[in-house]
Chains A and B, each alone.
Chain A
């Protein structure tokens, strides 16, 4: 293509004329042996207990890419995070800033070990929301200590740092086989509905749990939410087996409408060509295309179009 002239349209510019910040280099800003940079102003504001929480939170959010620029500044933020006399809001703001720095601060690698160490301390903080947030990040990091703490909490409720359903959700990030028996036990005797659902989700990675997932999926006495989780879990574990079950669920005209809708969606999107020859299924879906809620009708029509 020939070179184009630049557009003559006036460019839109913001009316704000803030002084541009200094350009940022691409390499870590603190070279070994160099004089330590001063703490960026935003983090001095964040550490100032004389300022309002709102001002401190905004300062923390200002530029996460500079959090690790100064060793002193970074250390002051860790101290703030672990300071149990500090307001929860500010501590959460520090945690957010640290987590955002992971995505953006060129010096983050140098700070990582201390960041993880701080999260591990926070995992046993007196505040439940901080514990949950810290354990969440550590679990996504596949941190071994976090795993141990979560498993210990499931085995012994007195040691639980987070609710059962949260522990199960976080164990999913790095499943070890010792989590499966605990999850099956919770399915059998759930402390609450969410815990059962998370246990079923965790079991999606366990091939030995397929019969359990199928059983719950087909049991009309089970709560619909649990059955839907089993559908997704079985689908993740063994898609072929799930689609076979989905067919049966669609054909059964006494089945729960949401379960049928979900099953029909699965068959429509992920079913194989052999479904075109399934006359009983096709006739059932034809009926659904006429006598269902609108969204299910739409999926039924998609199915009929695909497998005509």
Chain B
């Protein structure tokens, strides 16, 4: 007998990724040989393959406790039976081999599939291999200045500043921006998730020749000879300008607000309207902890560090949301409805993904087109609205966006 396991309800190998958010899955009998009964009992469990890592858990429905195994009754006629799979909090995969999901009828293995527990991680905790896969994907996306990364650079320019900064939609816009980039990276290497730079702690392992480079005395970043970021090019200019205004091994950007103080910005009861002051400090303060590309809104995305900085900004929002149950936009305090400018109200679409050139949107052709799709989820759609980025784990009844953070449990 054989069964087929579909992770994220797909047979596509590109869909075999889960985070902490429960992923909808299916199992069905594809070859009933060896049984004449109308149903067969199949037990799902997991195992660590050679070179694998991570841990998962199972649940039959949309609620209830997860368990290490799950027994299902499958029609031998081939009808699919749903179940849910999630990574175990704190046990993500560090290797693409991930975890093997096994289906057994009795003691006989009747089906298996490998799944990776993929979440966004603290960049200082990446293994060398994880770091190298991320750097490799990023360098390929840049492709010596000729690649798709140009669109990401061109989205974040001063002419488009009102779409993304200094207003209520700042966090939603940047969440969409990061998601778009991450999906493009995953189209190159599906095992990659965007790491974050935890800027309120020293992070010496990020500023190294093998990762995001070491600045020389003139503030030009040096990369190791085998680091493909050596060929990083933006605006036809090679390299990255970045000088740290803090000690590379022991310091943090001057005056940066700690994580706990950032979470507390929201107050009690937690209100997004006050939490979003984090756009000033720690977000702005992190940017100006350097001299170089990243200290200016127009040139900031020319430095790859920008995406790790903003990944941490987004993680802080995610953590605040999780700690205060602020995923439902209808809940008071989950959002701030004071915006008057288009692009910042809940049901406004966001530039550039809405492809709009109607004033007051920027007059130039929106770079990059619609938001990158995902093989594992359908949200937030090709032209997301501000509201579509709020409930990222899908706990308030929407479809998840397909990412989680290592230290933000769901």
A contacts, CB < 8 Å to B:
1-7, 9, 11-14, 16-27, 57-58, 60-66, 93, 96, 99-106, 108, 132-133, 136-137, 140-141, 163, 165-166, 169, 172-173, 194, 197-198, 201, 204-205, 228-229, 231-233, 235-237, 239, 258-259, 261-262, 265-266, 268-270, 295-296, 298-299
For window 300-332 of chain B, which residues contact chain A by CB distance below 8 Å? 322-325
Partner of B273, one of A5, A24, A62: A24
Q: Which residue of A lies closest to B272 (CB)?
A: A23
A196 to B219, CA, bound (A): 15
B140 partner residues in chain A, CB cutoff 8 A = 269
B231 partner residues in chain A, CB cutoff 8 A = 232, 235, 265-266, 269-270
Partner of A172, one of B237, B264, B277, B291: B237
12 pairs, A vs B, C-beta closer than 8 Å: A1-B399, A23-B273, A61-B285, A99-B288, A103-B280, A103-B283, A231-B230, A232-B233, A235-B144, A262-B226, A269-B231, A295-B224
Task: Tell whether, in the assembled complex, residue B344 and residue A232 are in contact, meaning their CB atoms are under 8 Å apart.
Answer: no
B24 lies within 8 A of chain A by Cβ: yes
B323 partner residues in chain A, CB cutoff 8 A = 11-13
B contacts, CB < 8 Å to A:
24, 62-63, 136, 139-140, 143-146, 165-168, 210, 216-220, 224-228, 230-231, 233, 236-239, 241, 245, 254-256, 260-261, 263-268, 271, 273-274, 276-277, 279-281, 283-285, 287-288, 291-293, 295-299, 322-325, 336, 338-341, 344, 394-397, 399-400, 409-410
Task: Tell whether, in the assembled complex, residue A201 and residue B237 are in contact, meaning their CB atoms are under 8 Å apart.
Answer: yes
Partner of B237, one of A4, A21, A25, A204: A204
A60 partner residues in chain B, CB cutoff 8 A = 255
Partner of B165, one of A22, A104, A235, A236: A104
A101 to B165, CA, bound (A): 11
B144 partner residues in chain A, CB cutoff 8 A = 235-236, 239, 270
A296 partner residues in chain B, CB cutoff 8 A = 225-226
Task: Tell whether, in the assembled complex, residue A16 and residue B261 are in contact, meaning their CB atoms are under 8 Å apart.
Answer: yes
Task: Tell whether, in the assembled complex, residue A169 and residue B62 are in contact, meaning their CB atoms are under 8 Å apart.
Answer: no
Task: Tell whether, in the assembled complex, residue A262 and residue B230 are in contact, meaning their CB atoms are under 8 Å apart.
Answer: yes
- Distance from B21 Cβ to chain A, minimum over Cβ atoms (Å): 10
A97 to B102, CA, bound (A): 56
Query: With contacts A101-B280, A104-B166, A140-B299 known, is A298 near B226, CB below 8 A?
Result: yes
Task: Tell whether, in the assembled complex, residue B237 and residue A205 are in contact, meaning their CB atoms are under 8 Å apart.
Answer: yes
Partner of B226, one of A16, A20, A105, A299: A299
Task: Tell whether, in the assembled complex, residue A104 and residue B336 are in contact, meaning their CB atoms are under 8 Å apart.
Answer: no
Q: Which residue of A lies closest to B409 (CB)?
A: A9
Query: With contacts A1-B24, A262-B230 known, is A23 near B238, CB below 8 A?
Result: no
What are the nearest 3 A-B pairs in CB distance?
Answer: A20-B267, A61-B255, A65-B280
Task: Tell whether, in the assembled complex, residue A62 and residue B281 are in contact, meaning their CB atoms are under 8 Å apart.
Answer: yes
A266 to B254, CA, bound (A): 37
A201 to B288, CA, bound (A): 24
Partner of A64, one of B146, B285, B340: B285
